[in-house]
Amino acid sequence: MARTLLAVRGLKVAYGGIQAVKGVSFDVQEGELVSLIGANGAGKTTTLKAVTGLQPMTSGDIEFMGQSIQGRGPWELVRQGLVMVPEGRGTFARMTITENLQMGAFIRDDKDIAADIDRVFAIFPRLRERSSQLAGTMSGGEQQMLAMGRALMARPKVLLLDEPSMGLSPMMVDKIFEVINDIHRQGVTVLLVEQNASRALQLASRGYVMESGEITMNGDAKSLLNDPKVRAAYLGE
């Protein structure tokens, strides 16, 4: 049986007295692609921020590879292999594409960094073509590719993706989901947080639905995709 890489138990997060996440629990097993879907404001991004140490939790626990990571800084978690591509991409605008990728390997001191940059360029040929271009001059879709490539440079054990399709053209959305699928097939465990429920559930093996800070449904992704409640709420049916 696959081991659990990420386990969130009873997670609560509050912003200035407002309870944004209200006792959320979910698991991600090794080798899985799990989707966490929900409308804007459901608490998905706040959950990811708590998981990656960017937002303090009020109560609950988070285990990564069998150990509690409560109170650990994001830099420690990246070193352990828990890596996030944030909402809004967060590329270094005044650095070139190659420099952005090197920043992804900041925690590493091995000799394979150049080979891994080549690997990222193989996944994203468009980045290779523009390797000396400043990140800030690229399109939103290209910056999303760069943010994903930079995360892969840290050699993640679990890759967390926060709204990767947000604000992108339909053609670029297709490309990004295709790449997420490829990355997963290469053996990376993925937690995909998305408003685009249909695309996210088509890729995933399992899914969780989040509403107003709570997990309201979970199960096999295909079953969720065909569930009348999910279709009515997220697929406009």
Residue 10, amino acid: G
Q: How many helices (H) and strands (E) does the chain have?
A: 10, 10
pLDDT at 190: 98
Strands 59-64 and 67-68: antiparallel
DSSP 8-state symbol, 135: G
Contacts of residue 26, Cβ cutoff 8 Å, sequence gap at least 6: 8, 34, 36, 208, 215, 218
Distance CA 193, CA 182 (A): 17
Chain-centroid distance, C-alpha 113: 22
Q: Work out the widest C-alpha separation in the chain, in whole angstroms.
A: 52
Whether the CB-CB separation of 210 and 44 falls below 8 Å is answered with: yes
> Right CATH number for 1-81+159-164+187-237 from 3.40.50.300, 3.90.79.10, 3.40.30.10, 1.20.970.10?
3.40.50.300
Burial class (CB in 10 A: 0-12, 13-18, 19+), 34: buried
pLDDT at 17: 83
Whether the CB-CB separation of 150 and 164 falls below 8 Å is answered with: no
Consecutive sets of 10 residues in the chain, 237 residues long: mean pLDDT of each?
Answer: 92 91 97 95 94 94 95 91 89 95 92 95 94 94 94 96 92 93 94 94 96 96 94 79
pLDDT at 89: 77
pTM tops 0.75: yes
- Residue 145: name the closest of 116, 199, 183 by CA: 183
